[in-house]
């Protein structure tokens, strides 16, 4: 009898631990709309400006708002570098039907290194290495440094024609810092899109993005299905200022 009770208790403990260890996944649906501006200063230097609005679907409640500015420099043989800054606002909690919520601001200085490989005449491979330093808004005012997040993105591009390009990518995010305990793996994003270049100055892109994110608990996750629409705008400032 005692042995039986002992085995039952052990089984219950193991079952509780297994249930606790099982991950909890919260599935959400969102729509992202983005404006992407690229201005060529000359052959080597570019400015990039992105404005993106992120809302839940079908409630259309605000999730995040992002403004990103980058200065880019082309290096030799497909390499490039960039220095940027992101203004980031998000609505908390991360719930599409929350009635009581707060808005938190985050500032992110960023560094970027990119590399482009041409595999075939119409096929190319793009690598992006990105590190950002995250400063979070404090309740008493001001901002405090939280941690670093390093990202790597691999993207395949196939030029169907002179105007249409197919894109597919996968990107992983890692948190680095003393405050990071259980969610060193922050998130993984993968997706695909179609880009149509209507003219040298204007293009449109429509695609799907899956955003799988680990929460601070280490056992809870978000699985977000995202429809993203982008308007691309290119300005040749060197040409525009020429006599």
What pLDDT, on the 0 to 100 scale, is given for residue 99? 86
The 10s digit of each residue's pLDDT in 96-146 is: 998 889 999 999 999 999 999 999 999 999 999 999 999 999 988 899 999
> What token pair was written down for 57?
């679907």
Residue entry with tokens 């570098």: 81
Percent of the chain predicted with pLDDT > 70: 88
List 39's β-bridge partners, or say none: 47, 235
Mean of the per-residue pLDDT values for the chain?
Answer: 89
pLDDT: is 92 or 185 the higher one? 92
> What's the rounded mean pLDDT across residues 145-151?
94
Instruction: Tell me the whole-structure pTM to 2 decimals.
Output: 0.86
- Confidence category of residue 11, pLDDT binned at 50, 70, 90: very low
What pLDDT, on the 0 to 100 scale, is given for residue 239? 62
Please enumerate in sequence order all residues whose Cβ is within 8 A of that of 124, keeping only pairs 6 or more positions apart, or say none. 116, 117, 118, 156, 157
The yes-or-no verdict on residue 2 having pLDDT over 90 is no
Euclidean distance between CA atoms 183 and 181, whole angstroms: 6
What pLDDT, on the 0 to 100 scale, is given for residue 12? 38
């Amino acid at each position: 009898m005692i042995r039986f009770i002992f085995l039952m208790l052990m089984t219950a403990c193991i079952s509780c631990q297994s249930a606790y260890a099982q991950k909890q996944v919260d599935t959400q649906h969102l729509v992202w709309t983005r404006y992407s501006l690229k201005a060529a200063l000359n052959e080597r230097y570019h400015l990039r400006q992105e404005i993106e609005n992120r809302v839940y679907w079908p409630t259309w409640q605000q999730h995040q708002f992002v403004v990103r500015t980058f200065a880019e420099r082309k290096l030799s043989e497909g390499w490039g570098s960039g220095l940027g800054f992101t203004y980031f606002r998000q609505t908390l909690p991360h719930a599409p039907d929350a009635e009581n919520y707060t808005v938190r601001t985050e500032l992110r200085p960023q560094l970027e290194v990119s590399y482009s490989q041409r595999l075939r005449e119409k096929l190319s491979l793009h690598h992006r290495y990105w590190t950002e330093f995250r400063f979070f808004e404090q309740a008493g005012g001001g901002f405090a440094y939280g941690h670093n997040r390093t990202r790597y993105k691999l993207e395949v591009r196939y030029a169907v024609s002179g105007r249409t390009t197919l894109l597919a990518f996968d990107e992983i995010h890692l948190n680095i810092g003393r405050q990071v305990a259980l969610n060193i793996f922050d998130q993984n994003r993968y997706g695909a899109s179609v880009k149509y270049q209507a003219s040298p100055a204007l293009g449109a892109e429509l695609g799907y993005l899956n955003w799988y994110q680990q929460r601070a608990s280490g056992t809870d996750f978000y699985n977000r299905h995202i429809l993203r629409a982008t308007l691309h705008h290119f300005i040749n400032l060197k040409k525009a200022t020429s006599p």
